[in-house]
Amino acid sequence: MTDMVMEFWKNNSEMLLDVGYSALLALVILIAGAIVAKLVRKGIRNANDRLEKLDATLVPILCTAATYLVYTIAGVFILDIFGVNTASLIALLGAAGLAVGLALKDTLSNIAAGIMLLFLRPFRSGDYVSIGSTSGTVHEINLFTTILETFDGLYVCVPNSTAWGSSITNYTRNGKRRMDITVGIAYSDSIDTGLDVLQRIAAEESRFLQDPGPQTMVASMGDNSVNLQLRGWATTADYWQTLWDLNKRVKEDIEAAGLTIPFPQRTVHMLSEGETTD
């Protein structure tokens, strides 16, 4: 047995040394690739912590993409060490990628749209948005879908291509919103009194922003009422509670001032038999 091993070594020692050297070098490259990938992931996270310019959902995607890129480069080096024609392999992979791309064009369109959403950032995780006819808080943005949670707790999954191709309204981005509170008074009531009530409410509402400041106006002449309007700006966080509170207070204060909030009315003329409208 020993003689056979010695004979095999004698005849194949050069080849075995070359294979061992190549394997050792490949192992070193693989370990170096793992270290570089880890450093790249750590560098992306640290850079984002300092600059705070990336959405929280974009960081893991960039880390994953960077890891795959590093391992791909390391794999090309390893194949080259073992004598594989990497140029032909890259061409083959390119042709295979084209075929796969044609077969998965809808999926790839979602990926492309996801990349555009992640980099251009029309919305971020936590923003309240409307995408087409769907509204909700953005829970997650990934390469394929955008996940929304509606006010009533529903899970909505929107394909990225649909989100990118739709009109997007972001209610959170600017940090403030304007509310328009309209109340009608009777034509026989005093408009100045009604405006005074709204101005007093605006002056006493601490949640209103002063820049831009609140406004009061005669909004329109309705069929049954003169419509007065109170406009005011509030932060996004205070918007809904302020709107609900003021709707209640405007009604109460208008009525306390002796003004009437009319309701739609219709006059019906009854004709007896034989009568005409002439």
Is domain 176-256 classified as CATH 3.10.560.10? no
pLDDT for position 190 = 95
pLDDT for position 36 = 86
Residues 6-37: tens digit of each pLDDT: 665 566 666 656 767 777 888 888 888 888 88
Pairing assessment for the beta strands 215-221 and 176-185 based on DSSP bridges? unpaired
Q: Are 158 and 146 in contact (CB under 8 A)?
A: yes
Neighbours of 117 (CB within 10 A): 22
* CB proximity list for 31: less than 8 A, separation 6 or greater: none
Residues 36-91: tens digit of each pLDDT: 888 887 887 777 666 555 556 566 667 777 787 888 788 877 777 776 666 666 66
pLDDT for position 70 = 83
Q: Is the pLDDT of residue 206 over 60?
A: yes
Stated pTM of the model = 0.62
Residue 12 to residue 263: CA distance in whole angstroms: 102
Residue whose token pair is 């820049």: 211
Nearest to 121 by CA among 171, 66, 170, 48: 170
- Between residues 247 and 78, the one the model is more confident about: 247
Residues 128-185: tens digit of each pLDDT: 999 988 999 998 887 788 899 998 999 999 998 899 889 999 999 999 999 999 999 9
Q: How many CA atoms does the CB half-sphere of 93 hold within 13 Å?
A: 8
- Between residues 211 and 272, the one the model is more confident about: 211
Three-class DSSP category at 176: strand
Residues of the chain with CATH 3.30.70.100: 176-256
Residues of the chain with CATH 1.10.287.1260: 2-103
Average pLDDT over residues 258-262: 91
Is domain 122-170 classified as CATH 1.10.1670.10? no
Residue 275 to residue 23: CA distance in whole angstroms: 110
Quickly name the fold that domain 2-103 has. Answer: Helix Hairpins (1.10.287)
